[in-house]
């Protein structure tokens, strides 16, 4: 049983005279006495249903005039070209059915006329997503996932899934959500890092994973969530430069695909959309620090992590996507490979959007003894990493990889103010429902 023959967006004035069946939400109902209009909205647009009192039966006119906003309706009728109506057509109905009536009042106004607080919108997210400008972001996200998967497949990268319930920390022992796992304590994984590296030891050579990461951080910012989707890759027989090239290609492909295939969604977002130009600038941590010191009076020392203010300053100065490379070994995780001749610097990198960090990655330590030493050097106990370290004892190819935050990619691509706007049901410090 298909309840519609067309989406509103597929009806054009050229099919004047065709009978169609549309289904969607009652966006607006206007009864002007002798004539009534029902604006039907579906995910592809709007259609004006015009009822002339003299031409339709009384009962239908009365029913339409009494429909509550946002009720689910189905309309069968004839397409008529009408320059003044949205999309250049109207529907002269032969049958209008209310499939499900909406209660009054609505929990929020789903039209775009009224500005609404983010919290109110998130409390009634199902209704918020009915707004074309909100829906557009999630349709674009789906398009981005599709093109990224294609991009990875074309590079011979295999899609994998790794566990989200784990026994131990991946990235240093902090910021994990504990859960009860039968008689033991377990944790929600904060990154597929250790597993994707182990798969290099498994000879899988090139893997990618798109899945949730969990961070029990207390952050309450516009760019942090406690559950996020991360796009991770790991590649054997490759170094940091090789995977930076893959990352740059992934980001540019995503933008390009959206520019070419998502014009309806971009129009709903009212965006001036620019595809970033490759190659992205690559500057070292030390160069970035010099730039920041020149431009602003900051007491930052070599070895400090870049604070938000410095990141903002660099973003404004550089003005486009850029890579920050060659970080101090002391502030990158234990799995990041130090340069042989300058062990205080490592082959870790971040991909930056002028507004924030989008991804981080590195060439990894693949030597067992060095990895044990690096784990110890970070004040961690190697015995907790035995399942991981084991994969480094029987032949581990050199490898590199990265993790890219999907919501941050979408947020920056679509110039959204808050990362929560790039997640259907966000999880943050205060929000566990819906
Ligand atoms: P990192 O911790 O930098 O690196 O995470 C990678 C990317 O994931 C996104 N991200 C987040 N997005 C929203 N809210 C959060 N709380 C959050 N935390 C991370 C960011 C970030 O750049 N194992 C490494 C990756 C690697 O080296 O392969 C890692 O997890 O966009």
Domain match, 182 and 315 both: yes
Domain match, 283 and 383 both: yes
Q: Give counts: helices (H), strands (E), the chain.
A: 12, 16
> What average pLDDT does range 314-339 have in this prediction?
97
Is the per-residue pLDDT at 171 higher than 70?
no
228 close to ligand 1 (CB < 6 Angstrom): yes
In the reported structure, the alpha carbon of residue 247 is separated from the centroid of ligand 1 by a whole-number distance in angstroms of 14
pLDDT the model gives residue 168: 78
In the reported structure, the alpha carbon of residue 327 is separated from the centroid of ligand 1 by a whole-number distance in angstroms of 16
Domain match, 93 and 134 both: no
Domain match, 41 and 134 both: no
85 is a domain residue: yes
Domain match, 191 and 281 both: yes
Rounded Cα–Cα distance for residues 28 and 37 (Å) = 8
362 close to ligand 1 (CB < 6 Angstrom): yes
Pocket test for ligand 1, best of 405, 423, 431 (most atoms within 8 A of CB): 405
416 is a domain residue: yes
In the reported structure, the alpha carbon of residue 230 is separated from the centroid of ligand 1 by a whole-number distance in angstroms of 7
Quote the number of domains for the chain: 2
Atom of ligand 1 nearest to the CA of 402: 28
Domain match, 177 and 30 both: no
Q: What is the DSSP string of 389-430?
A: HGGGSS----EEEEEEEHHHHHHHHTT-SSGGGGSSS--BTT
Whether the bond between 105 and the residue before it is cis, its omega within 30 degrees of 0, is yes
pLDDT the model gives residue 298: 66
403 close to ligand 1 (CB < 6 Angstrom): yes
Pocket test for ligand 1, best of 196, 213, 402 (most atoms within 8 A of CB): 213
Domain match, 136 and 186 both: yes
Which tokens go with 360?
């981080």
110 is a domain residue: no
Domain match, 171 and 83 both: no
Average pLDDT, the chain: 95
Rounded Cα–Cα distance for residues 170 and 135 (Å) = 34
Domain boundary among 57, 81, 100: 100
How do residues 327-343 score in pLDDT, each as one tens digit? 999 999 999 999 999 99
Rounded Cα–Cα distance for residues 398 and 402 (Å) = 14
Rounded Cα–Cα distance for residues 190 and 175 (Å) = 8
> What average pLDDT does range 201-223 have in this prediction?
95
310 close to ligand 1 (CB < 6 Angstrom): no
Q: Is 179 helix (H, G, I), strand (E, B) or coil?
A: strand
Residue with the larger pLDDT of the pair 320 and 219: 320
Rounded Cα–Cα distance for residues 195 and 387 (Å) = 10
Is the per-residue pLDDT at 268 higher than 60?
yes
Domain match, 54 and 159 both: no
389 is a domain residue: yes
Q: Which domain holds residue 285?
A: 128-422
Q: What is the DSSP string of 245-306?
A: HHHHHHHHHHHHHHHHH-HHHHHHHT----PPPSSPEEEEHHHHHHHHHHHS-----TTSPP
> Confidence class of residue 172 from pLDDT cuts 50, 70 and 90?
low
CATH code where residue 83 lies: 2.40.50.140
pLDDT the model gives residue 111: 84
Is the per-residue pLDDT at 112 higher than 80?
no
DSSP 385: G
215 close to ligand 1 (CB < 6 Angstrom): yes
Residue with the larger pLDDT of the pair 79 and 309: 79
CATH code where residue 410 lies: 3.30.930.10
234, 391, 396 from 203: Cα distances, Å: 12, 11, 8
Rounded Cα–Cα distance for residues 286 and 17 (Å) = 68
| Active-site amino acid positions | 215, 217, 223-224, 357, 360, 408
In the reported structure, the alpha carbon of residue 211 is separated from the centroid of ligand 1 by a whole-number distance in angstroms of 12
Residue nearest to atom 9 of ligand 1 (CA): 405
Residue nearest to atom 10 of ligand 1 (CA): 405
114 is a domain residue: no
Pocket test for ligand 1, best of 214, 230, 244 (most atoms within 8 A of CB): 230
> Confidence class of residue 174 from pLDDT cuts 50, 70 and 90?
low
224 close to ligand 1 (CB < 6 Angstrom): yes
Domain match, 247 and 385 both: yes
Domain match, 256 and 396 both: yes
Residue nearest to atom 28 of ligand 1 (CA): 402
426 close to ligand 1 (CB < 6 Angstrom): no
High-pLDDT (> 70) share of the chain, % = 98
How do residues 361-410 score in pLDDT, each as one tens digit? 999 999 999 999 999 999 999 998 999 999 999 999 999 999 999 999 99
pLDDT the model gives residue 368: 98
pLDDT the model gives residue 226: 96
In the reported structure, the alpha carbon of residue 367 is separated from the centroid of ligand 1 by a whole-number distance in angstroms of 24
> What average pLDDT does range 109-128 have in this prediction?
91
Residue nearest to atom 11 of ligand 1 (CA): 405
pLDDT the model gives residue 335: 97
119 is a domain residue: no
With beta carbons less than 8 A apart as the criterion, state whether 235 and 400 touch: yes
> Confidence class of residue 37 from pLDDT cuts 50, 70 and 90?
very high
329 is a domain residue: yes
pLDDT the model gives residue 293: 86
Domain match, 47 and 154 both: no
193 close to ligand 1 (CB < 6 Angstrom): yes
pLDDT the model gives residue 300: 81
111 is a domain residue: no
Angle formed by the axes of helices 406-413 and 132-154, to 10°?
120
In the reported structure, the alpha carbon of residue 33 is separated from the centroid of ligand 1 by a whole-number distance in angstroms of 58
């Amino acid at each position: 049983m298909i309840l519609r023959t067309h989406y509103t967006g597929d009806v054009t004035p050229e099919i004047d005279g065709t009978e169609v069946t549309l289904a969607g939400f009652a966006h607006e109902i206007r009864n002007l006495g002798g004539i009534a209009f029902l604006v039907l909205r579906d995910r592809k647009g709007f259609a004006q249903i015009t009822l002339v009192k003299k031409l339709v039966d009384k009962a239908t006119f009365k029913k339409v005039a009494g429909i509550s906003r946002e009720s689910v309706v189905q309309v069968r009728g004839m397409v008529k070209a009408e320059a003044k109506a949205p999309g250049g057509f109207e529907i002269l109905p032969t049958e209008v059915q209310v499939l499900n009536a909406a209660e009054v009042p609505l929990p929020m106004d789903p039209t775009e006329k009224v500005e609404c607080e983010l919290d109110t919108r998130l409390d009634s997210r199902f209704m918020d997503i009915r707004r074309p400008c909100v829906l557009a972001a999630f349709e674009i996200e789906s398009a981005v996932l599709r093109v990224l998967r294609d991009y990875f497949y074309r590079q011979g990268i295999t899609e994998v899934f790794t566990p989200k319930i784990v026994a131990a920390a991946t990235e240093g022992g902090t910021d994990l959500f504990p859960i009860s796992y039968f008689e033991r304590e377990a944790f929600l994984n904060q990154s597929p890092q250790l597993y994707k590296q182990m798969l290099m030891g498994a000879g899988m050579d090139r893997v990618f994973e798109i899945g949730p990461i969990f961070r029990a951080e207390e952050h309450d910012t516009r760019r942090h969530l406690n559950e996020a989707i991360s796009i991770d890759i790991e590649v054997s027989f490759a170094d940091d430069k090789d995977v930076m090239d893959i990352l740059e290609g992934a980001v540019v492909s995503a933008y390009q695909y959206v520019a070419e295939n998502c014009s309806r969604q971009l129009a709903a977002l009212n965006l001036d959309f620019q595809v970033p130009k490759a190659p992205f600038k690559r500057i070292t941590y030390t160069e970035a620090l010099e730039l920041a010191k020149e431009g602003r009076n900051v007491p930052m020392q070599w070895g400090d992590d870049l604070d938000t203010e410095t990141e903002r300053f660099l973003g404004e100065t550089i003005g486009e996507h850029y890579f920050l490379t060659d970080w101090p070994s002391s502030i990158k995780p234990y799995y990041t490979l130090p340069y042989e001749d300058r062990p205080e610097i490592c082959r870790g990198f971040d991909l930056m959007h002028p507004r924030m960090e989008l991804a981080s990655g590195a060439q990894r330590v693949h030597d067992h003894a060095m990895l044990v030493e690096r784990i110890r050097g970070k004040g961690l106990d190697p015995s907790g990493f035995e399942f991981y370290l084991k994969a480094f004892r029987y032949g581990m190819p050199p490898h590199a990889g990265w993790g890219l935050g999907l919501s941050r990619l979408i947020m920056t691509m679509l110039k959204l103010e808050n990362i929560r706007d790039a997640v259907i049901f966000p999880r943050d410090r205060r929000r566990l429902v819906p």
